[in-house]
Structure 1
Amino acid sequence: MTSYESLIEDWNTLVANFENAEKSHDEYLRLQKDTTRLQNNSSRSVKSLLKTSGQVKSYLKKLEQSKDKPGEDENEKLEEINRRMIEIRTRLGEMQMELPAESNGFYLKIILGSNLNVSLLNPDDRYRYKEEYESFKMTVTYFIILTLFLAYIFPYRAMDAICNFLMVWYYCTLTIREAILRVNGSRIKGWWVAHHYISTVLCGIILTWRDDQCYKQFRGLFIFLSIYICLVQLMQCRYQTGCLRRLHSLGQRQSDMDITIEGFSSWMFKGLTFLLPFLIVAYIIQGYSSYRLFYMYLYQDCNEDWQVLALAFLFAIVAAGNCFTILRIVFRKIQERYSLSTRSRLVSKYRPKAI
């Protein structure tokens, strides 16, 4: 075959493949337009149905609180409506999660803009993003521990600045990733989101603190606290990941977008209560850090550095918020267990005995 004939054959193949590709691309564009139109229609329908179901729910609540008692037939109908209402609203919530979010939220709008859609419609994509978030936390935490050890061995301000800059970047990135996770259905508690915002500001303030005698007095305590918290976080990430997988496999968690947290949650009572002492020690050190900074500001001539007072308040907020959160969770869990034990005793007491 001559080179001319080879060229003609390759050209004909190229033209045929181009025509097929063009047809496929046109079909893709048509389906994309249809998908966008169907998404918009579905979003409007779900939003309208959620509003209507909310009105019906409020009407049912008013009827239950009214003095006029319904008849037996009406009671059965109301119970049926209540049951179906729960099913409908649950399914509407699932449908809403499978559609693009209407808004990225104030924080993401500032950083990414209002026109960028960060909704991951494929459940596999959402799960992979969540897993990548967990991997990011673990990897960066290892790097932070390494830099903190180096800063402890080599007590130079430049090394401290690298550590603090790394932690500022880490917490800033966490806040962005968590905002995207929340848009995609991850139910992250408000305190842990606020905790990362406060940690970002806290590390940023330490980064701007000048290398004076007051900074050197607090430096050792801060490095120790940071290393300890990082080690506890590594323990939590490993054990919480296994716990979440076990709960998902048993069907005790509804969402695959649950993430590991720096604190303690109710589902962690499933065998992870051994983490409580480590967390309590961390919160005590945070509270002591606040006390130490207040003492330095009031009695050790450190009132010229505004960072001292600002850090004292921030450490106090973090310690108080962590303690309040963990106490509320433990108290609620004790109440649940007491309620279940009381109910089981009553059932056992009044169960008909076999003849």
Structure 2
Amino acid sequence: MSGQLERCEREWHELEGEFQELQETHRIYRQKLEELTSLQTLCSGSINKQKTRLKDLKHTLQRYKHHASREEAELIQQMSANIKERQNVFFDMEAYLPKKNGLYLNLVLGNVNVTLLSNQANCVTFCGGVYQCRFAYKDEYEKFKLYLTIILLLGAVACRFVLHYRVTDEVFNFLLVWYYCTLTIRESILISNGSRIKGWWVSHHYVSTFLSGVMLTWLCPVPAILLPEGLPLQAAGSGREESSGPHGGRVPVLDVAGPHLPPAFPVLWPFLAALQCRHVV
């Protein structure tokens, strides 16, 4: 027992020494973190000040350009080109600085910093969490698109030729909604970190998210309360003879010529007709 107690005591002293080193390392880490935050604030303020002054200078040059001589016009053109190049440099610099999220990221994630601080292909531990570096995050984004595209293609084929069930259709459409929502979030994070993703590409995914949501809710039955009063009765009795009607005693399911229908119903007719055709198919 005495030998085991001595080993435990030696291990405790070793742990105590390592703990002292850990405390010192953590103190240095917090100090560097505070310095980093101060440098980020200083750089952001300086960039904003430079942008404002360059903007004023550009407007002044544009006003003076109409009354300048040939040599002065060449000088103004050169300065304008330098200003444009400087703005591109600011864009690259801001990619490494915290910035306010756009409306979409604020709605989805809240006011959280999504800036990735390194271009290396590995991951680093920063601010108490694992922050994937820029290239690694971009690589994960590409892998996510590839794998989910393959899964969705297989799922579409299975739903079309193998699994003819309403539940599988709803699961597939829910997967589509989740896929496109996740894509838009990841692309917004990449744009916040300086990625030059084309606007039409992101807009295409927003539209796809909306259409996937329509497909998901399209499978749900239309509540009777959303239909005109006479339509459910006509749909239920479409196979029986009616005592009166504009079609020889038989009233079609989607007859919009009846005087009992509200004036706004012709606007809804194409959607209800498409719904009816889908159920027939």
TM over 0.5: yes
* Structure 1 length-normalised TM: 0.56
User: Aligned residue for 2:115?
Assistant: 119
Kindly provide the amino acid, as one letter, of the partner of residue 120 in structure 1.
Answer: L
Counterpart secondary structure, 1:303? helix
CA contact (8 A) 1:151 1:160 kept: yes
8 Å CA contact 1:168–1:200 kept in 2: the answer is: yes
CA contact (8 A) 1:205 1:307 kept: no
Compared with structure 1, are the counterparts of its residues 3 and 46 closer, same or farther at alpha carbon in structure 2 (3 Å cutoff)? Answer: same
Q: Deviations over 1:177-228 (max 9, x none)?
A: 111111111222222222212211212212222478xxxxxxxxxxxxxxxx
Letter in 1 for 2:92: E
Choose which of 303, 306, 311 in structure 1 pairs with 2:269: 303
Distance verdict in 2 for CA 1:162–1:298, change over 3 Å = farther
1:10, distance to aligned residue in structure 2 (A): 1.5
**Count of aligned positions:** 219
Tell me the equivalent position of 1:26: 27
Structure 2 residue runs of 5 or longer lacking an equivalent are 121-132, 222-253, 257-267, 276-281
1:171–1:199: 8 Å Cα contact kept in structure 2?
Answer: yes
Change (3 A) 1:36 1:60: same
- Per the alignment, do residues 85 and 110 of structure 1 end up closer, same or farther by CA in structure 2, a change over 3 Å counting? same
- 1:158 pairs with one of 163, 167, 191: 167
Give the letter for the 1:69 counterpart.
Answer: A
- 1:176 equivalenced with 2:167 (yes/no): no
The 1:131–1:86 alpha-carbon spacing in structure 2 relative to 1, beyond 3 Å, is same
Percent of matched pairs sharing the same residue:
37
- Segments of 5+ residues of structure 1 without an aligned counterpart are 213-296, 310-355
Match of 1:137 in 2: 145
Q: Residue in 1 aligned with 2:232?
A: none
Q: Aligned letter for 2:88?
A: T
Checking the alignment, whether the CA contact within 8 Å between 1:161 and 1:207 is kept in structure 2 is yes
Quick one: structure 1 residues 79 and 303, their matched pair in 2 at CA, closer, same or farther if it must change by over 3 Å? Answer: closer
In structure 2, relative to structure 1, the CA distance for the partners of 1:90 and 1:200 (3 Å cut) is: closer
Within 2, Cα distance between the matches of 1:23 and 1:112? Answer: 34
Contact 2:170 2:219 in 1 (8 A): no
Once residues 93 and 47 of structure 1 are traced to their aligned partners in structure 2, the CA distance between those partners, rounded to angstroms, is 11
Indicate the SS of the match to 2:269.
Answer: coil
Q: Point out the structure with the larger helix share.
A: 1
Q: Deviations over 1:149-198 (max 9, x none)?
A: 11111322222112211111111111111111111112222222222122
For residue 209 of structure 2, the aligned residue among 200, 215, 218 is 200
Specify which of 91, 94, 104 is matched with residue 93 of structure 1: 91
SS at 1:118 equivalent:
coil
Deviation at 1:3, TM superposition (A): 2.7
The letter of the residue matching 2:183 is L
Q: Corresponding residue for 2:41?
A: 40
Q: Retained in 2: the 8 A contact 1:209–1:307?
A: no
Q: How far apart in 2 are the matches of 1:192 and 1:201? A: 15
Contact 1:175 1:197 in 2 (8 A): yes
- C-alpha displacement of 1:86: 3.5
Distance 1:308 1:110, change over 3 A: farther
CA distance in 2, matches of 1:307, 1:44: 58
Q: CA deviation at 1:76?
A: 6.0
Q: Aligned partners of 1:298, 1:147: CA distance in 2, in Å?
A: 38
Give the Cα–Cα distance (whole angstroms) in 2 for the partners of residues 307 and 130 of structure 1: 44
Equivalent position of 1:78 in the other structure: 76
Query: Which structure exhibits the higher relative contact order, with contacts defined as CA atoms closer than 8 Å and separated by 6 or more residues?
Result: 1
Aligned partner of 2:125 in structure 1 is: none
CA RMSD of aligned residues (A): 2.8
Q: Distance in 2 between matches of 1:25 and 1:145?
A: 49
Letter of the 2:196 partner, please give it.
R
Contact 2:177 2:209 in 1 (8 A): yes
2:103 to 96, 101, 106: 106
Secondary structure at the residue paired with 1:123? coil
What per-residue deviation string (whole Å, max 9, x for no partner) do you get for residues 234-293 of structure 1? Answer: xxxxxxxxxxxxxxxxxxxxxxxxxxxxxxxxxxxxxxxxxxxxxxxxxxxxxxxxxxxx
Q: Distance in 2 between matches of 1:109 and 1:307?
A: 39
